[in-house]
Every structure is written in structure tokens, then in C-alpha cells.
């Protein structure tokens, strides 16, 4: 009980730093790059999570700067906007509904305003409604046109998914990618909901590790029909999901993932019993190079108290700097 109370207190302090202190300090430090780089980078350092990479692929950056890239990522929590920015090298922006401003008003506004240095916003707002596909395509065209780094993170499941299996991929942005020849890479990260979980009012839940897997890039012009392209993306989504969650399970960070059918959906338990679930090769540690043994599933009371003291000291120092 005491540990859970400390977790909630830590969440409140972290939220104060995320919502107010870090955006203000990032803006004062470098207004040109506050919303697109510094704010996300500093928040990642504050939350202190580690990255564990499965497989050999890394974030796809095309040789031609004019080539547009769409990263398809799984949507878990508010932590997506922080972790995925780091995993994609702070390139381009993230496609999001404008309602995100209600949850994180100052960071979202600052990210939306963007910066001249990056040439675009870090959040590309769109309206999700029936018949809004032309407006969505116009939003993507407009932001890609002004972006210096022509990349965007898209969450094709449509809404937050905290289950252990993926949801069906929506086709709106995929049809745009096929029509405009936007290169696609699937990016699946397990553990973003432990970095920030607004539903459970928890941050930095142990193990504070994010396991990530990247697919090979998919080029739409290599497919004669949208159905062929869509099938390739669904297969990449399935295999990349299994790679990330399988590596995390092998490291002890989560439960083993369910078997997934060719469409990316979970198979029945009976079918799974008769099929061998693909297990990816041993995960390649990313940061740090040798992460050591997996941390305990439940952080100790002393660890939470130490975190709380450190976060409180940072908050007090920031307050004194700004207002005294």
C-alpha cells in the first residue's frame, strides 16, 4: 500500500515537471528547438527508462532527404509521444488528434507550434470523423511540404491498445502512403505504458525498460496494388510485434505474446497450442550496451523514496530558478 501511494505521488510530481517545468525550461533554453527536440529529450532523461533493441534493424532514414517516411507505431499511453520521438531521432512529427491538448496542454501546444529549425510541428493535428479522409490527406501533404525532415509517426490502430495483442490496422494513412509513395517502417515498442501510464496514474513502473523492434522499410512503388502493399504492412506489423514482445518476454519484462495469425490478430488458444510461436533471436542491447540482468518486477520501497526525493529536489530547484 505504501509503495502504491508513493507511486501516485511520484506520478503527480513527474506530471508537474512534464506539464510545466520542462516546457518552460526548454523554451527558455532554446526557443527554436524547444517543442521538437529539447522537451522530449529532457523528459526522456527525467523518466530514466532504458532502451532494449530486438534484432538488427534501426530507425530507417532514407538517403534522399526528399523521401517521405511514415513510421507505424503501437499506441499504448502518453509515453508514446516521448519514447517514439526518441526512437525516431526526433525526426518530423507525430500524427495526433487535437484532443491531446486537453491532457497535456502546455507540452502539446509547444510541440504543435514547432520550430523554424526543424521546419514543422512535432504534432500534426487532424480531425477524426466520418468522411474526413480528404482533410487527413491535406494535413499530411501540408506538413510534409514544410518539414525539413520528412517523417511522421502514425498510430494505425486508431486508439490506445494496452492488451498483449495488436488491433486491426486502419487503412486511411496506408492508402495515403501507397498513393504518395511514402516509405513505411513498422516500429513496435513494448513497455511504453510503464514509462507513463495515465490510466493507472503511474510513471517509471519497474522494470522501466522499453523493448523496441524495427521492421525492414516497405516501399509502396514495389507493389502493383494496394492489397499487396497492405498485406506486406500487416505481415511486417505481425512479425515486428512478435519480435518486440518476444524479446521482452525472454528478458523477463512481460508475459509471452500470443500467437498471431497472418492478419496480425491473435489466434485461438487451441490453434496456438498446435503451432510453434516464432521466437526472435536474442535481443541486442542498445542503451546501455550491456544492460545486465533484468530488474525486479516490483520496485522496492527504498527505490521509490529515492526517486521521490530526487524529483522533489529538481522541482524545488526549478521553482526557485524561475520565481525567486
- DSSP line for 46-90: HHT-EEEEESS------SSTT--EEEEE---STHHHHHHHHHTTT
Average confidence (pLDDT) over 221-237: 96
* Mean pLDDT of the 250-276 span: 61
- Give the chain's mean pLDDT: 80
**What pLDDT sits at residue 309?**
58
Asked whether the beta carbons of 146 and 121 are under 8 A apart, the reply is: no
Phi-psi region of 196 (alpha: psi -120 to 50; beta: other; left: phi over 0): beta
Cis amide leading into 17 (omega within 30): no
| 230 has a pLDDT exceeding 90 | yes
End-to-end CA distance of the chain, in Å?
A: 37
pLDDT of 265 above 80: no
Query: Quick one: pLDDT band at residue 29, thresholds 50, 70, 90?
Result: confident
d(CA 169, CA 218): 16
Cell numbers for 40: 522530449
User: Mind listing the pLDDT tens digit for each residue in 40-63?
Assistant: 889 998 999 999 999 999 999 999
State whether residue 301 is helix, strand or coil: helix
Average pLDDT of the residues in 235-255? 93
Amino acid at each position: 500500500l505504501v509503495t502504491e501511494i508513493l507511486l501516485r505521488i511520484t506520478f503527480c510530481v513527474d506530471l508537474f515537471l512534464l506539464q510545466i517545468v520542462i516546457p518552460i525550461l526548454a523554451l527558455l533554453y532554446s526557443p527554436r528547438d524547444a517543442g521538437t527536440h529539447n522537451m522530449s529529450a529532457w523528459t526522456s532523461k527525467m523518466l530514466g527508462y532504458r532502451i532494449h533493441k530486438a534484432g538488427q534493424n534501426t530507425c530507417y532514414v532514407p538517403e534522399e532527404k526528399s523521401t517521405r517516411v511514415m513510421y507505424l507505431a503501437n499506441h499504448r499511453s502518453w509515453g508514446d509521444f516521448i519514447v517514439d520521438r526518441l526512437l525516431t531521432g526526433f525526426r518530423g512529427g507525430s500524427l495526433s488528434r487535437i484532443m491531446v491538448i486537453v491532457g497535456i496542454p502546455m507540452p502539446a501546444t509547444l510541440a504543435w507550434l514547432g520550430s523554424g529549425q526543424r521546419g514543422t510541428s512535432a504534432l500534426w493535428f487532424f480531425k477524426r470523423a466520418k468522411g474526413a479522409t480528404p482533410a487527413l490527406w491535406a494535413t499530411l501533404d501540408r506538413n510534409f511540404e514544410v518539414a525539413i525532415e520528412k517523417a511522421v509517426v502514425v498510430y494505425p490502430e486508431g486508439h490506445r491498445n494496452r492488451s498483449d495483442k495488436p488491433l486491426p490496422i486502419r487503412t486511411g494513412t496506408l492508402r495515403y502512403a501507397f498513393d504518395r509513395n511514402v516509405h513505411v517502417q513498422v516500429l513496435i515498442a513494448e513497455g511504453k505504458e510503464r514509462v507513463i501510464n495515465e490510466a493507472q496514474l503511474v510513471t517509471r513502473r519497474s522494470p522501466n525498460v522499453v523493448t523496441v523492434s524495427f521492421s525492414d522499410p516497405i516501399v509502396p512503388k514495389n507493389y502493383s496494388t494496394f492489397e499487396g502493399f497492405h498485406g506486406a504492412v500487416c505481415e511486417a506489423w505481425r512479425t515486428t510485434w512478435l519480435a518486440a514482445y518476444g524479446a521482452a518476454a525472454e528478458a523477463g519484462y512481460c508475459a509471452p505474446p500470443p500467437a498471431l495469425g497472418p492478419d496480425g490478430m491473435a489466434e485461438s488458444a487451441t490453434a496456438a497450442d498446435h503451432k510453434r510461436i516464432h521466437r526472435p533471436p536474442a535481443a541486442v542491447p542498445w542503451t546501455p550496451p550491456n544492460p545486465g540482468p533484468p530488474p525486479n518486477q516490483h520496485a522496492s520501497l527504498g527505490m521509490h523514496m529515492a526517486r521521490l526525493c530526487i524529483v522533489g529536489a529538481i522541482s524545488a530547484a526549478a521553482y526557485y530558478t524561475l520565481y525567486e
